[in-house]
Every structure is written in structure tokens, then in C-alpha cells.
Amino acid sequence: MKIILENELEKKAWGIMMEAHYKWEKNYGDSLRQQMEWHFFDLKRDDVKAMIEEEAHRRVNEDWRNILTLDMTLEEYLEECADDGVSREELVEEYERLHGEILEDLEVQKVAVEEDLRRLYSSFFNAPEGLTVVYQEVVQGSDGR
């Protein structure tokens, strides 16, 4: 994750926030992470579940974008497969096997998205020193802005 500090005020504020973070961590350990976990996975459970589902589906669709519905698969490949000696039943079985793999991949992606989400808030709240902090000086135009 990249944090972009756009001016001197933000740069100084970041230093103060890092100091506060170190003090909190020294005094309270990982209680902030536990609070974030509770907030994400208990208090906002439905919102987070919807986010995870949406992202998992997006990833699976990206990985399996060329897979058609059963009807489309049969329509597209039935004649071609018949010429090769493949029956309709074999084509349906292959489609169902592939569909099973897609469903398995969806479950794997849900776990991966949840881990990514935990890593995201953990790096922001528990390990801000590991973030990439960029100080971006804003160049003023000729009108002084």
C-alpha cells in the first residue's frame, strides 16, 4: 500500500502518527489489530462478506473468462466433438468437471480475498512502518495555486 503525502503538513502529521503508533504498540500490543478484526468480521460482517464475494467472483471470472454456459458449450462444440467421436454425454461430463473446478476456485479465492483484506488493514494499522510513504511536492502554477 502506498501513502502519498502531498504537503509539509501531511509529512509532519505522518511523523506524529507514527510516534503515536509506536507508543500504542508498546503499551497495548496488538489490541488495535484485534479491534479491526472485530470491526471487519463481526460488526460489519454482512458488508465484508459481500465485498469478499464480489471480489472472489471478479477474480474467478477473470481466470475463467472463456468458459461458456452448458447450452453455449453444447451449441458451440457438439458438432465438432461428434466429428471427433465425443458424445454429448461426454461433453456434458467434461463441462460439469470444469464447472466443479470453477466452484472450487471460487472457494479458494474467497479465502485469498479474506487474507488480502486482513493483510490490508493489518499493514495499515499494525505495521505502518512497512508502508511505502511518498512525499509528493505539489508544484504551484503561475496563478499561485
Per-residue pLDDT reduced to its tens digit, 15-66: 888 888 888 888 888 787 788 888 888 999 999 999 999 999 999 999 888 7
Average pLDDT of the segment spanning 115-128: 82
> Rounded to whole angstroms, how far apart are CA atoms 118 and 33?
9
* Stated pTM of the model: 0.69
Alpha helices in 64-87 (DSSP H): 70-83
Rounded to a whole number of angstroms, the distance between the first and last alpha carbons of the chain is 29
| pLDDT score of 56 | 95
Query: 5 pairs with which residues across the strands?
Result: 135
| pLDDT score of 142 | 45
Instruction: Supply the mean pLDDT for the chain.
Output: 84
Is the confidence at residue 82, as pLDDT, over 90?
no
> Rounded to whole angstroms, how far apart are CA atoms 21 and 129?
10
> Rounded to whole angstroms, how far apart are CA atoms 29 and 23?
10
Give residues with Cβ within 8 angstroms of 1, minimum separation 6: 120, 123, 124, 131, 132
Q: Count helices and strands (H / E) in the chain.
A: 5, 2
For the chain, percent of residues with pLDDT exceeding 70:
94
* 145 or 80: which leads in pLDDT: 80
Is the confidence at residue 141, as pLDDT, over 70?
no
Is the confidence at residue 143, as pLDDT, over 60?
no
Average pLDDT of the segment spanning 104-110: 96
> Rounded to whole angstroms, how far apart are CA atoms 99 and 56?
16
Question: Which pLDDT band, with edges at 50, 70 and 90, does 138 fall under?
Answer: low
